[in-house]
Amino acid sequence: MRVMGIDPGLTRCGVGVVDGRPGAPGTMVAVGVVRTDPEAPLAERLLALDDGLRAFLDEHQPEAVAVERVFSQHNVASVIGTAQASGIALLAGARLGLPTATYTPSEVKSAVCGNGTADKRQVTTMVTRILRLKEAPKPADAADALAIAICHLWRGGVKARISAALNNSAAGNKESAR
């Protein structure tokens, strides 16, 4: 399965595309950063971000999109922009009919480092190792995006099965309540 991971941001939005499956190391298909001009009006920046993400989706045709979840505990000054970028990212995936998923930073760190409180350097090191890259992906937003894609490949299957089981169980409960 091919997954596009997105580390949402308005100034730098990390994008990483990985081919893989649960339990296997995975292969990097593409990595990059969509940048928008901090001096430009907000609507222009959102449009530039949407254009950049669509170009990645068009070129690499992922089967799923995974986006890091935004928390209000984050830096208060940047949380609004990060939330807006994550909305654009999820919309871009949904607009193409792709399944989308969100993961918390600690879920992503746990998946690639085995430790939910790992720092950015550890994440970059593990992503470089897991994908057998010759060089560490730069900047950190790009490495994070690859980590999110790996997280989805390794954990997404499990999450999807749990969610399907819960839906079936809920459907069964509704059925028996009739």
**E strands present in the chain:** 2-7, 12-19, 27-35, 64-68, 100-103
Q: Where are the beta strands (DSSP E) in 61-103?
A: 64-68, 100-103
Q: List, in sequence order, every residue forming a beta bridge with 34; answer none if it has no partner.
A: 13
Q: Give the contacts of 85 (CB within 8 A, at least 6 positions apart).
A: 8, 9, 10, 13, 46, 49
Say which of 19, 50, 58, 68 is annotated catalytic. 68
Residues 53-112 that bind a copy of itself (CB under 8 A): 70-72, 76-77, 79-81, 83-88, 90-91, 93-95, 100, 102
Among 23, 38, 41, 135, binds a copy of itself (CB under 8 A): 41
Catalytic residue check, 119 = no
Is 141 tagged catalytic?
yes
Kindly tell me which of 24 and 42 has the beta carbon lying closer to a copy of itself: 42
Binding site for a copy of itself (CB under 8 A): 41-44, 46-47, 50, 70-72, 76-77, 79-81, 83-88, 90-91, 93-95, 100, 102
